[in-house]
Structure 1
């Protein structure tokens, strides 16, 4: 049960945090405290072994889980109430506290004895090691993430491609219809991204509708695809979209349409122009009546046949080139048969078994657990519930919390990890920080096919979605286990209120001393303005994540007390000014050892005192807009030996050049953003080219000046991502494959003076993608020539994305030159031509 495990881990984390807090007394040597800690550790092990006992579920243990969850929550309430008394009054009532502590310690000890009896009767095994270990964290770095593919739908894909590119020329609506989990969206994505579709249509737009839709949000999605403004009324947005599409051959995908009302409310006839140029609108829907109403020419999804089902299962259940062990094949085929050709069910069960022991009795238990059903969504939910039942205990609360996000929401991994940590779901590890453990938890959910990755970054999963049937499973299970509270009338979902608050006034902060995650939105206050955080914020003894959103040109001023908030892990404020901490002697100096993320600090003085206070910071964003002064101690930046991700923004004045040149970058740096510092290309190479771990370099607006960049061999040896944006002086880039030997992705933006793309870049063996947007015509065409040369040399792995914009004369000249040289024939080229009008 997710609630029980989450409550135990949260209690364990609180006991550890209080034990290490220098400002609050706590009788940790008391036998009752020691007994409580032992009971919690035992019960966590019990929950893990219970969930890993080959799927054997015991009704007595399930009932016990509810009692364990309640006992752990009561214990946590008692301990936090003690902390509240200390913070508010500077003292506590020891007799009352010790009496309450005795009760909860006895209660947890009773739960321990009951769990011991259940464990002895059922013959449970000890839990296997999981992702909090260093080995699993290392595996997260080395194991490649699988990619989604279509199996058994080749004929349907070909049919859809033919409908999209064939006659008639009039605008055509093509519904894709099938029950949940059939692969409608996957089919649409495969067509949407197919090279022949990218070449055939001028623009391709995508919007997700969902059950609870908003016309304004749908229009905003479509306009965003064309990089058009999403402001204004619905009427203004309609007109803007219509005018933007007029005269273009477009493909629009409307994903997950539930009712005809959504179609009627969009008023498609007056939204998508029909100029007889072969434009298409694809609609995915479960509702056969919707599909029938929209068009007679529809694509119907069917169940997979036996061979395709088996192939899809093996793809997801076994490592590449291994296949099914002979001793498991009969049982495995029984499992596949019970999925009844439903792709989502096969993929999820396969993903679960990929992470499970290859023991016959375990697989037989899985086969017996899959229930037959004559329903549609019910059939899939029965199979999906199996994947939850067999999830390791530490993943269950993390998985169920995903149900709190709206249907079809694009979920950012960074936000999810913050909430998991704040909720106390992530177990402390002696070898990894909590963020690394949480990242591995997310990766495990992905490897089990329980989330759909929408976008990757250098760390792995960047953004993802949850299939609506998987989300429904989360909601049903969370409600059953009393893990989330779901309000039927509004669909609102909340968790335990002590943990996450998204709106808070300064007057009420003192009443929320047990908060772990504080998110304050100040976008509606008058601007520009200075917002002073109240000194009472330091009373939030357990606050781990502080996020503040302010309007443009506004700032947050933090009090001295923020340096006493030792549990803070992340400070993310649009612009924050941190007052330098008061000097303290070595014995009384408070060190924020848990602070790993500090974003958007303005004019931050990197004094020795500051560097000592935040020694473990890993992500740092700084901006400077004051008068240049050595007061900011730029050389001390090198003292952050754990720093991995650094962003530096200057106001663009040339006065910062010498300051930037004096910066000392730590060798641990992996990602570097530079903006407005104005160093020249040679200085840049000397400053950062030798950093041994630098993988991603972003050179943003006016970060580098000078017309010629001639890189030096032996520099940038580990650089994988390079982004050059609005470095307007760059004319000549003399680079070849020896200068960036392991580069994978190259992004060039707004380089209007660049004469030629360096063809030697195309010879880098690891290069996967070049993305050029709004660069000069000559450099864009030379990049297309480089791609053509690489294709001739049988380099099929390199892709080129081009966005080119200009006036009518420039566009015509560009098209003619591209046409004459035959540069658009490669399927590895994605070319987008945008008018500047």
Structure 2
């Protein structure tokens, strides 16, 4: 992965400029300047003028990658070893010069490539094979509702030309659904003329239009100046259906949209695409159709039909295995169809079981019905990615199958890896969020759970895409799965150890060049030789104590114990030895008594200048003083205990965005009123044990506020919290509000979108629609005294969901009445769930 290597090398070079013992050498300073300039040129080339695919491209990117790795290694060695003998340090000049010579040679090659492209474009042929229109329906399971929905959009509604977009990942059935719609007798009867063409990634306007002519049986061979006119005349005055299959860019739509006449006769255009942005661009006035995965029963039905034909009779001894295989296809029709072809050839049970154990391997090692490798179909999506997204996508191959990836951890890892190009006025985390959003829009990443503010909380990738990440990552020398069978760690920068790896195969490993390690099992003896390690992501591993030997990895930037936990959850006070650490993230659900918490030694985070995110179950921080340095980078402090927010502390964390704190005893000791001076704070979560009346400050910029046990009178909730101008999410838990009546007022909660009320002693709630004008979701749980939900809540125009869980029967009845009233008024967008008293959803 040349692009990721360039970013990492540039970071290392710029770090070298901060090292006096290295940068003060004038000859080295000159070489670093040259390298920085040339590597930036190559970065710009990959971003804005990337080479076409092929062996020559792979060779060029391989040269770029290796030269960047060499530059990074030289800097890392000399930065890490400032006290090496002078005779050794003198070699740095020659080392740098060798890299400079190689990079200059690469730049010369790139210049030649860029100049020769002008000639190549002039010689390119304009003709190619057109995508033929489908000749009939294809087998389709699980899309009956979608088929009817699309048919209704085509044959009804507005008389203006309308674009219907089908969006989803490769192999999910976009073309199959479009084909069945296109060939449906009712659709065929409704339209005077139908046309179909495949757009392809390297589209040309003339080829798209020639494809449409070809599918309409127009046998003429017009010149490029006539093809526009012929297509226009073929459609003019007639009700037409045009399918533009597999569109990859908004430019392709711009090239052809003016050719389609609008005679106000109900003509329609279907666009299939993997890219949300393309779908929205083609028709921003209507929602696109997001293709969904098949459920388990639909997957089995499709598999059974492909293996056993129309009769669908599966021998009883094979059905259990067949259903297991169908489930392992993860709802992707492409996987099911390819696997069915393998099962049909050999119907012995043990052979089916072998396929079921690794469906992804079976799919990618086989050919589908049209003799296209499924991997190549998916590879189109990867090849279409801009260079800055490729390392982010490939890094997701380091997570296990079906793994729910915490988005917060993923973003922090991308930041530490150096995959992100800084953008002015945006933090690196905001850049990473935009990258992830782009991958989601390209149908490569799935959002599996959202936060209460609508942002993604967990994401995942389909098994076939994960397999693509691993294979492509290995091919590009980006990510290397270590299987333990004669595996060498030489020249491998990112390693992935699975659960089943046999660590004894690596016991003799030493001086590994690895910078990043993903591991689903752990062996501290093997990792001792990883002196260059910067990223350590430990997945699904539990520890009794914090593994103290990790402190030997002095260059760590990112350390995460993702889905395991540390039983005796304390951080060593010597943690600041990791002075480069940016993120320490520990996922844990272990609970501790207050006695265990009192034993924790305070952590001196003020000695960790690079720290950005600290998420741990049990953090006691050393107090800040006027001598403590300012932590400019710190954005997240989660699960801190009894920390005193003195003015000195506030001044030393000026850019804090997320704070989660727990307090025991007298809260007045901790100066929580000073929280109002955290001007960058966006998320605040405060828990008080035991519950007590507490006073604290909330900054005006807070967007998400979670409170537990602070016993605020309801009138203060209205007058104080209700006036926060940016508050979008409010969670009131466990007596955070006290009193029998809460009377809201107009003008409060101006932008609140999510409200949770949980374990409150509230009896009477008085509110109207104008009191929560932007509310979208209301959740009420375990409010055992609440008499009713205010009827005015149902009149909030933006309200989409209301959930009443384990409340009084009268509260449940009032929620049901609100729903019925809204249905009578024609509002069928509101959903109401009453649990557990009423289990059905209206």
Displacement of 1:623: 0.9
Q: 1:492 aligns with which of 467, 492, 497?
A: 497
The within-5 A match list for 1:411-426 is: 411-426=405-420
1:656-713 deviation digits (Å, cap 9, x = unpaired): x1xx33x221111100010000111111222211111111001011111111000121
Q: 2:10 aligns with which of 12, 15, 35?
A: 12
Residue 635 (1) aligns with residue 673 (2): yes
Aligned to 2:144: 156
Q: Conserved in 1, the CA contact under 8 Å of 2:625 and 2:649?
A: no
Q: Supply the distance in 2 between the matched residues of 1:125 and 1:686 (Cα, whole angstroms).
A: 66
SS at match of 1:689: helix
Aligned to 1:336: 245
Displacement of 1:124: 9.0
Aligned to 1:599: 638
- CA 755–576 in structure 1, closer or farther in 2 if over 3 Å, else same: same
Displacement of 1:538: 1.9
SS at match of 2:424: coil
Displacement of 1:43: 2.9
Q: Supply the distance in 2 between the matched residues of 1:404 and 1:609 (Cα, whole angstroms).
A: 41
Residue 103 (1) aligns with residue 95 (2): yes
Aligned to 2:311: none
- CA 456–29 in structure 1, closer or farther in 2 if over 3 Å, else same: farther
SS at match of 1:672: strand
The within-5 A match list for 1:132-143 is: none
Q: Supply the distance in 2 between the matched residues of 1:29 and 1:317 (Cα, whole angstroms).
A: 56
Residue 460 (1) aligns with residue 498 (2): no
Displacement of 1:766: 0.9
Q: 1:501 aligns with which of 522, 536, 550?
A: 536
Aligned to 1:707: 740
**Matched residues, number:** 605
Tell me the TM-score normalised to structure 2 length.
0.64
The within-5 A match list for 1:379-398 is: 379-398=373-392
Q: Conserved in 2, the CA contact under 8 Å of 1:443 and 1:461?
A: no
Aligned to 1:469: 464
SS at match of 1:336: strand
Q: Conserved in 1, the CA contact under 8 Å of 2:683 and 2:702?
A: yes
SS at match of 1:57: coil
Structure ID, larger Rg: 2
Q: Compute the RMSD of aligned alpha carbons.
A: 4.2
Aligned to 1:795: 827
Q: Conserved in 1, the CA contact under 8 Å of 2:759 and 2:783?
A: yes
Residue 552 (1) aligns with residue 557 (2): no
Q: Conserved in 2, the CA contact under 8 Å of 1:748 and 1:771?
A: yes
Residue 615 (1) aligns with residue 635 (2): no
1:269-305 deviation digits (Å, cap 9, x = unpaired): xxxxxxxxxxxxxxxxxxxxxxxxxxxxxxxx97751
- CA 507–778 in structure 1, closer or farther in 2 if over 3 Å, else same: closer
SS at match of 1:7: helix
Displacement of 1:539: 2.4
Tell me the TM-score normalised to structure 1 length.
0.65
Q: Supply the distance in 2 between the matched residues of 1:335 and 1:524 (Cα, whole angstroms).
A: 50
Q: 1:680 aligns with which of 713, 727, 738?
A: 713
Which is further off, 92-101 or 378-387?
A: 92-101
Q: Which has the higher contact order (CA 8 A, sep 6+)?
A: 1
SS at match of 1:578: coil
- CA 637–350 in structure 1, closer or farther in 2 if over 3 Å, else same: closer
Displacement of 1:451: 1.4
Displacement of 1:326: 9.4
Residue 511 (1) aligns with residue 552 (2): yes
SS at match of 1:738: helix
- CA 669–787 in structure 1, closer or farther in 2 if over 3 Å, else same: same
Q: Conserved in 1, the CA contact under 8 Å of 2:394 and 2:473?
A: yes
Aligned to 1:225: none
- CA 94–54 in structure 1, closer or farther in 2 if over 3 Å, else same: closer
Q: Supply the distance in 1 between the matched residues of 2:37 and 2:757 (Cα, whole angstroms).
A: 51
Q: Conserved in 1, the CA contact under 8 Å of 2:686 and 2:708?
A: yes
Q: 1:76 aligns with which of 72, 93, 110?
A: 72
Q: Conserved in 2, the CA contact under 8 Å of 1:377 and 1:469?
A: no
SS at match of 2:661: strand
Aligned to 2:157: none
- CA 763–4 in structure 1, closer or farther in 2 if over 3 Å, else same: same
- CA 613–155 in structure 1, closer or farther in 2 if over 3 Å, else same: closer
- CA 329–637 in structure 1, closer or farther in 2 if over 3 Å, else same: farther
Residue 576 (1) aligns with residue 619 (2): yes
SS at match of 1:573: strand
Q: 2:841 aligns with which of 818, 830, 833?
A: 830
Q: Conserved in 1, the CA contact under 8 Å of 2:605 and 2:622?
A: no
Gaps of 5+ in 1: 127-150, 161-179, 187-300, 319-323, 340-345, 358-371, 806-814, 816-823, 832-837
Displacement of 1:568: 1.0
1:499-542 deviation digits (Å, cap 9, x = unpaired): 22246965524421111112359988775xx735142x222222
Q: Conserved in 2, the CA contact under 8 Å of 1:549 and 1:573?
A: yes
Q: Supply the distance in 2 between the matched residues of 1:42 and 1:354 (Cα, whole angstroms).
A: 38
1:419-440 deviation digits (Å, cap 9, x = unpaired): 2122221223332111100000
Which is further off, 74-83 or 477-486?
A: 74-83
Q: Conserved in 2, the CA contact under 8 Å of 1:712 and 1:739?
A: yes
1:760-805 deviation digits (Å, cap 9, x = unpaired): 0111111111111111111111111111111111112211122124
1:333-384 deviation digits (Å, cap 9, x = unpaired): 9983899xxxxxx966455966999xxxxxxxxxxxxxx9655795332122
Displacement of 1:463: 2.1
Q: Supply the distance in 2 between the matched residues of 1:521 and 1:413 (Cα, whole angstroms).
A: 11
